[in-house]
Amino acid sequence: MTWIRGLDRLSLAGLAVLALLVGAALAGTLLGVGGAQDAIVGPRLAPPDGQWPLGTDQLGRSMLPRVLAGIGTTLLLSAVAVAVTATASTLLGLVAGYRGGWVGEVVLRGVDVLYAFPTIVLAILVAAVLGPGRSATLASIVLVTVPLMTRLVKVAAETVARRDFVTSALISGASHRYVLARHVLPNVAGTVAVQGTYALSVGILVEGGLSFLGFGVQPPASSLGALIQQGGIYLLAAPWLLVWPGMVLVAAVLAITVFGDGLRDRLEPRDSRALK
Amino acid sequence: MTVLLHVEALVVEYGSGDGTVRALDGAELVVEEGATVGVVGESGSGKSTLGAAVGGLLPAAARTVAGDVRVGGVSVAAMTPLQRRAMRRDQLGYVFQEPIGALDPTMRIGRQLGHVLRGQGRAAVLDWLERVALRDPARVAAAYPHQLSGGMAQRVAIAMAMASEPALLIADEPTAALDSEVREEVLDLVFTLAAGAGTAILWLSHDLPAVAKRCSRVAVMYGGRVVESGPAAEVLVAPRHPYTAALRRSVPSAAGRGERLVPVPGQPPVLTGAAVGCAFAPRCPAVLEPCTVDRPPLVGDLDRDVLCHLPAPVGAAR
């Protein structure tokens, strides 16, 4: 874990917040902190107090387990989607960047088509095709994050492919597959890691937006977006319904972005901020 | 001596349409087995393109318009990918200008060298590091490229290039990025290792005297053609091509104390197609009428080839 030592305080704080959120989600879903998220336990729209730390919602469910479950759903969906994105983009980007020529053009134009859609329109389109739910959310996040990551991996792979050590490896008789796996991939791994963190925050926002519009995670399941959507209805009567998930969403996106910046400074020093 | 490398009337262009740049305009070069050949020319004269063409390593944007490159009698262009891979592995070694860039930054030196040595084990890796005169081979083997100095990295790169004992080592300005103190050591190393393994050297450089000092033969490139070639000492002392002569007069170390250096006037050409006449005509002090309209023919006698309408006679100083 030597890379953690090179991070500045801001990114470490981001990492800490992220760890806290993951811990909270685990505590809620695995340890059952705050009770069951879908049980009606008290009066409706009760403000936060000792018994219900975050208040209750319009059906009398405690908000604490619902927010914890929401964090879990949102983070899990985004993380799985980003893993899929990272795998797909790395494969496509490596081949496109290393091989170049018409293969590279086809891949690039392909992701350009996806790039042309506004994020939320694309997500709604996917939800319309697949039907609202988790799989639609997952697919949306992947389709939204694949274009940028593929492009950046392609550019990185292209740069690496022109470096002398690749020529050197080819001269020594290495196959293209070997060069890709042993020389190009490790050299673009930093780009993938950095873009992965950014994609994670995009994923959280896409999940939020899609669930907010009613195309994402469906009730009674909880996600940050679904909670915000329901909270919006009771904004004046019970602002805590909106405030908790909203704050968590902002904190998560901010933490991930800040951490991603730190990671980029660490892994791609040449592209980093010149002024500190 | 058998011919190892034969570059025959090679024409290579980059780009297409209006943006076409002709990097090689009918280059001719012969390298015999075990020979040491220095290719001298300014930036843009086509020497790096020539070096890349030998390994079939031209970038995708380059087109071979005409001519041929034969390594060991086999045309590189006609090889199947598998044959080309085998040819590169068994016959070629490259040393690049930028030593750090020739090493993968994500891999320890020992592992990189180990891959080239094809599983001969750690002892072979350490042995090679010792052969390129690196102190403390064990420490170098455990280091990443960015932890090495330029000179050390270049020694590692030389070890990697020579590890397969290739028939031909192509060195593209191998010392340009190094400290002047390290340069001679690195060159000594390259030439000693090559002599020991019977490896021929194709040294691409812009430094005519340095090349002439170490190489048996010199080829001078200008505007994508080899304008003069011959035994190093003769080319340096009695150049037959006016460009070689001009190059020699512009070298600081060749001039006596108090003597003025004579720069070559004008700029090297950027060809967009085949040169109409002699590419050097606009800068030539002895330009004749045919120089601007006819491509100069190859005039060869007594192991000396020159591309000029009015070559200086063999042996006469220009």
Residue B260: the pLDDT is 75
Whether chain A has a CB inside 8 Å of the CB on B63: the answer is no
* pLDDT at A253 exceeding the cut of 70: yes
Residue A29 has pLDDT above 90, yes or no: no
How far A158 CA sits from the closest chain B CA (Å)? 12
The pLDDT tens digits for A126-139 are 988 998 889 999 99
A167 contacts on B by Cβ (under 8 Å)? 55, 57, 94, 96
Test B160 with A101 for CB contact under 8 angstroms.
Answer: no
B107 alpha-carbon distance from chain centroid: 28
DSSP code for A71:
H
* Residue A163 touches partner B, C-beta closer than 8 Å: yes
CB–CB of B208/B218 below 8 Å?
yes
Residue predicted with more confidence, B120 or A16:
A16
Place of tokens 């601007």: B292
Number of Cβ within a 10 Å radius of residue A274: 4
> E strands along B135-238, which residues?
168-172, 200-205, 217-222, 225-231
Nearest chain A alpha carbon to B54: A171
pLDDT of residue A271: 44
- pTM here? 0.80
| Closest in A165, A182, A186 to B101, CB measured | A165
Contact between B62 and B23 under an 8 Å Cβ cutoff? The reply is yes
| Minimal C-alpha gap between A187 and chain B (Å) | 6
- pLDDT at residue number A275: 46
Residue A17 has pLDDT above 80, yes or no: yes
Would you give the DSSP letter of residue A133?
S
Which residue among B57, B90, B106 places its CB closest to the CB of A167?
B57
Question: So what's the pLDDT on residue A269?
Answer: 53
Domains of chain A: 66-267 (1.10.3720.10)
Chain A residues in contact with B93 by the CB 8 A cut-off are: 171
**Residues 6+ away with beta carbon under 8 Å from B137:** B125, B126, B129, B130
Instruction: Sort out which chain A residues have CB atoms less than 8 A from B101's CB and list them.
Output: 163-165
Phi/psi of residue A135, each to 5°?
-65, -35
Angle at the Cα of A184 from the Cα atoms of B158 and A195, rounded to 5 degrees: 140
pLDDT at residue number B158: 93
pLDDT tens by residue, B49-108: 999 999 888 887 888 988 999 998 889 888 898 898 889 988 999 999 888 888 998 899
The pair of three-digit structure tokens given for residue B40, joined into one six-digit string: 């001298």
